[in-house]
Copies of this chain bind each other. A is one copy, B any other.
Amino acid sequence: MIESIRNPRVVAAARLKKAKARRTAGQILIEGPNLLTAALDAGLEIEGVFALAEDELTARAGEAGAEVAIVTTAVMKRLADTDSPRGPVAVATTPKQPAIAAQDTVILVAISDPGNAGTLIRSAAAFGFQVVGTPECVDLWSPKVLRSAAGAHFATAIVTGAEPSAVGEAGVTLVALMPRDDGRPEPDPAAGPVGLLVGNEAHGLSRRLVNEAAASLTIPTVNVESLNAAVAGSIAMFAVAQGR
């Protein structure tokens, strides 16, 4: 039983709450039974598991090769991102970055809210899109983004720190998602895969990026200036998927 939040293994794992530490270590935190089940089902490499005595999944994680430690509630609170954590919390190897495929793609351009990023990943998996996050985007492997995506990280390809131009070079047509119709052509899904550019919650897409895109897409609305970014991106993915 690990009882101290100063235990070296606990300290090393808790550091993974920070994006920089995740990048340096090449590891992420998987919190709660639902996410851990999804990660185990997907064959993710689980290195270590911290669990309360009553937590499930410890046997399964152990069989999968993880080092399992039973911890106190205080240690669990230190490791978990939520105020009322549900164990276990696992340390997993960050999945290898896949190559960007010539496939429908949602590009998270400087999305800053982890809830929005996670929701977009969940919708991307649901509509058969791969996910690309720009360097300015919130880290897509943060505990909050993982929680909000509800396991969808393990059901679709996720590429972080990539520029939209790299998606274009993979043979995907860049499409700017705009709150107001700018008169440019709409994308033709029949012509090949589309890369939906979803802009920052407060600032939208830069003019430069809009000009780089070959087409625009606007969801017709009344009464409001804009939709929530995750909703707008999800509706656009739905509309493209309907056209396939």
Contacts and interface: CB of A to CB of B under 8 A. Distances in A.
Q: Which of A151, A155, A226, A235 has the most CB of B within 10 A?
A: A235
Interface in A174-226: 219-224, 226
Contacts of A238: 219, 235, 238
* Contact residues on A (Cβ < 8 Å of other chain), bracket: 20 to 34
A224 B115 contact: no
Contacts of A222: 125-128
A173 interface: no
Nearest to A231: B234
B156 A223 contact: yes
Interface string A142-173: 00000010111001100000000000000000
A86 to B, nearest CB: 13
A22 interface: no
A143 B241 CA distance: 35
A123 B156 CA distance: 26
B234 A151 contact: no
A151 B225 CA distance: 10
A97 interface: no
Given A126-B224, A126-B227, A234-B234, 7 more contacts: A122-B228, A126-B221, A126-B223, A148-B228, A150-B228, A155-B223, A228-B234
21 contacts: A119-B230, A122-B227, A122-B228, A123-B227, A123-B231, A125-B224, A126-B221, A126-B224, A128-B222, A148-B228, A150-B224, A150-B226, A152-B224, A155-B224, A156-B223, A228-B230, A230-B230, A231-B231, A231-B234, A234-B234, A234-B235
Interface of A: 115, 119, 122-123, 125-128, 148, 150-152, 155-156, 219-224, 226-228, 230-231, 234-235, 238, 241
10 nearest interchain CB pairs? Answer: A126-B221, A155-B223, A125-B223, A231-B234, A126-B224, A119-B228, A125-B224, A235-B238, A152-B224, A126-B227
